[in-house]
C-alpha cells in the first residue's frame, strides 16, 4: 500500500514538473516573438531598396551590419508561408540566440551562411517542407531567396555537422526536450 502511495506521489510530482516546464517554455516563446517582431520592424525601416541577391565575385564577403540599441544585426530572416519575420544577430551569442536567431558562421555572398536559434524562434523549421521558400535580407537591402531542399537531424551543433556543400543557407535549432538539432538545408533560387 505504501509503495502504491509513493508511486502516485512521484507520478503527480512528475506531471507537475512537466506541466511547469511546458508553461515556462511557452511563456519564453510568447515573450521572444513580440520583441523579435519589434526589432525586425526597426531594421526594415533602415534597410534601403531591395535588389535581388545573386552570388557574385566580390572583394569582400563580409556581411553588412547595423547596430540597434547596442546590438549588431546582419539582416532579417523571413518565411512567408510560416508567417515569420525575424532579425538575425551579426555574431553568434548562445545566450541571445535563444530569443533571436544569430549568424553562426559563413556569409550570404559566399553561399555558406549558417543561422541558428532557440526552438522558440526557429522551431518553425521542423514544419518546413522541401520546396518551401525562405528569404534573408541583408542590411544593404539585398534579398536572397532560398528554397528548402532537405530537413535533417544531427546530435551536435558544430560547423562540420551543420555545413553542407549542397546548401547556400543552413538553419538549425535545438529540438525541445531532446539532445538533437533540426537542420534545414536551403539553396538559392
Contacts of 126 (CB under 8 A, 6+ apart): 151, 173, 175, 182
pLDDT along the chain (189 residues), means of 10: 62 48 40 69 77 55 89 96 95 92 94 95 94 95 95 93 94 92 96
Residue 17: per-residue pLDDT: 46
CA–CA gap between residue 109 and residue 168 (Å, rounded): 9
Q: Is 189 exposed, middle or buried (0-12, 13-18, 19+ CB in 10 A)?
A: exposed
Cα–Cα distance, 107 to 91 (Å, whole number) = 11
Provide the phi-psi class of 113: left if phi over 0, else alpha when psi is between -120 and 50, else beta. beta
**Looking at residue 40, what is its pLDDT?**
85
What pLDDT does 25 receive? 39
The reported pLDDT for the residue numbered 11 is 53
Question: How confident is the model at residue 20, as a pLDDT?
Answer: 43
CA 75 to chain centroid: 12
44-188: CATH, from 2.40.260.10, 3.30.70.20, 2.60.120.10, 3.30.300.130: 2.40.260.10
Between CA 110 and CA 107 the distance in angstroms is 5
Residue 23 is predicted with a pLDDT of 42
Residue 151 contacts residue 128 (beta carbons within 8 Å): yes
Domain ranges across the chain:
44-188
Amino acid at each position: 500500500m505504501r509503495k502504491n502511495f509513493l508511486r502516485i506521489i512521484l507520478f503527480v510530482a512528475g506531471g507537475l514538473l512537466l506541466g511547469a516546464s511546458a508553461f515556462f517554455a511557452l511563456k519564453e516563446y510568447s515573450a521572444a516573438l513580440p520583441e523579435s517582431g519589434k526589432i525586425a520592424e526597426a531594421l526594415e525601416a533602415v534597410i534601403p531598396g531591395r535588389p535581388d541577391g545573386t552570388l557574385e565575385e566580390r572583394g569582400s564577403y563580409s556581411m553588412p551590419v547595423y547596430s540597434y540599441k547596442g546590438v549588431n544585426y546582419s539582416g532579417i530572416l523571413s518565411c512567408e508561408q510560416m508567417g515569420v519575420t525575424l532579425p538575425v544577430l551579426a555574431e553568434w551569442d548562445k545566450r541571445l540566440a535563444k530569443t533571436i536567431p544569430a549568424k553562426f558562421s559563413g556569409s550570404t555572398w559566399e553561399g555558406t551562411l549558417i543561422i541558428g536559434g532557440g526552438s522558440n524562434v526557429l522551431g518553425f523549421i521542423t514544419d518546413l517542407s522541401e520546396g518551401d521558400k525562405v528569404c534573408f535580407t541583408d542590411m544593404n537591402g539585398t534579398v536572397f531567396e532560398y528554397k528548402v531542399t532537405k530537413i535533417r537531424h544531427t546530435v551536435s551543433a558544430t560547423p562540420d555537422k551543420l555545413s553542407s556543400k549542397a546548401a547556400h543557407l543552413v538553419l538549425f535549432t535545438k529540438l525541445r526536450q531532446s539532445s538533437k538539432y533540426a537542420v534545414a538545408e536551403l539553396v538559392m533560387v
